[in-house]
């Protein structure tokens, strides 16, 4: 099976634990070499995060379990890069729209 190299998640979490703790917990998952966590939105009770994890062979189930253990919910998996190398997104002609 092809290894997962990048995982981009949309996560809803309570204010506590902190965004820092979420990043550290995801980074401790099997196969994760680095994590970028961005606060997208906050309201009275919850925060919305974008979590980007990269590594050699990310254990997606473990990442989702760790997020759940901290009280978070994965709303969506927004990007997955799998295979022997990272493939970067490139705009395609059909993505362009005139002004």
Model confidence over 53-64: pLDDT tens digits?
999 999 999 999
Token readout for 98 is: 């005139």
Q: Report how far residue 5's alpha carbon sits from residue 24's, in angstroms, rounded to the nearest whole number.
A: 18
Tell me which DSSP letter residue 84 carries. Answer: S
- Cβ proximity of 51 and 9 under 8 Å: yes
Confidence of residue 90 (pLDDT cuts 50, 70, 90): confident
Confidence of residue 86 (pLDDT cuts 50, 70, 90): confident
Considering the entire predicted model, what is its pTM?
Answer: 0.86
**Residue 99 pLDDT:** 62
Compute CA 53 distance to the chain's CA centroid, rounded to the nearest angstrom: 5
Report, at the CATH architecture level, how domain 4-84 is classified: 2-Layer Sandwich (3.30)
**Residues 65, 24, 72, 41, CA torsion sign:** negative
77-78-83-87 Cα dihedral, nearest 10 degrees: -170
Domain ranges of the chain: 4-84
Q: How many Cβ atoms are within 10 Å of 34's Cβ, its own excluded?
A: 11
Token readout for 57 is: 């062979």
Instruction: Output the average pLDDT for the chain.
Output: 92
Question: Is pLDDT above 80 for 87?
Answer: no
Question: Is pLDDT above 70 for 28?
Answer: yes
Calculate mean pLDDT across residues 75-87: 91
- Cβ proximity of 15 and 45 under 8 Å: yes
């Amino acid at each position: 099976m092809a290894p997962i190299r990048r995982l981009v998640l949309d996560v809803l979490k309570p204010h506590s634990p902190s965004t820092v703790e979420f990043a550290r917990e995801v980074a401790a998952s099997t196969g994760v070499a680095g994590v970028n966590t961005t606060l997208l939105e906050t309201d009275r009770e919850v925060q919305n995060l974008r979590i980007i994890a990269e590594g050699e062979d990310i254990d997606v189930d473990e990442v989702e379990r760790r997020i759940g253990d901290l009280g978070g919910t994965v709303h969506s998996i927004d990007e997955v890069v799998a295979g022997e190398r990272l493939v970067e997104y490139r705009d395609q002609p059909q993505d362009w729209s005139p002004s």
